[in-house]
Amino acid sequence: MAAGRAIELVIFDCDGVLVDSERLSVKIDQRVLAELGWELTVDEIVHRFVGRTAEHFRSEIEGHLGRSLADDWEEPYQNWYTEAFERDLAPVPGIIEALRGIDTDICVASSGTHAKIRRSLALTGMLATFEGRIFSAEDVRSGKPAPDLFLHAASQRGVPAERCVVIEDSRFGVQAARAAGMRAYGYAGGLTPAGWLIGDDTTVFTDMAKLPDLLGMAPST
């Protein structure tokens, strides 16, 4: 970081950054969309939806179908996600080591609901690490790629935007970080191609365990 811009807060996305959920979710999203009559490839789903809110997902489906969905439209599919997460959800490779090596304030700011974020962190043993420092798109007016969520997290932690960095794995997430005036670190070790993350004030990387070094922090001993 440039002189005068020491890192005081590292803001983590959840899905695909802390928990290795995107591969599970996207496959189930594909099944759900097919059930509704919309056939999309995994790459198309990643491009359209990864990093966005559930409300955006619903709105896009309604736009494609040309009709509104019932309020409980997701109910028949919830067990698909729940069973997959309880069976297979794991931390992103290298994230536990990375968290041990970061010597400043950390928090989570995710497009998921508070309930979803907490469940994912609990299943992977990270809930205690982030307890009291979890922020959701439910907390703000506009989700990613708007900057609202990251600015809200920074405000709640009492840190100016220029002293925050954001760890993201989606193109919408890095766009939101840039819009917030925060430096982005785009993790390309998951489903999102590195080329989708490249941009101003963004460092793209593929090994999560090396994140403390990228941030200029000495690894823990």
Active-site amino acid positions? 13, 15
Q: Is the peptide bond before 193 cis (omega within 30 degrees of 0)?
A: no
The three-point CA angle 57-114-32 to 5° equals 30
Tell me the β-bridge partners of 164.
Answer: 9
Torsional class of 15: left (φ above 0), alpha (ψ -120 to 50), beta (otherwise): beta
The distance of Cα 209 from the centroid of its chain, to the nearest Å, equals 17
3-state secondary structure of 199: coil
Q: Give the residue carrying structure tokens 């989606």.
A: 170
Q: How many CB atoms lie within 10 A of CB 210?
A: 15
Question: Three-state SS string across 114-127, please?
Answer: HHHHHHHHHHCCCH
Q: Torsions phi, psi of 88, nearest 5?
A: -125, -10
Distance set, CA 7 to CA 10, 163, 182 (Å): 7, 5, 10
Q: Give the residue carrying structure tokens 């309020």.
A: 71
What would the two tokens of residue 133 be?
Answer: 């420092």
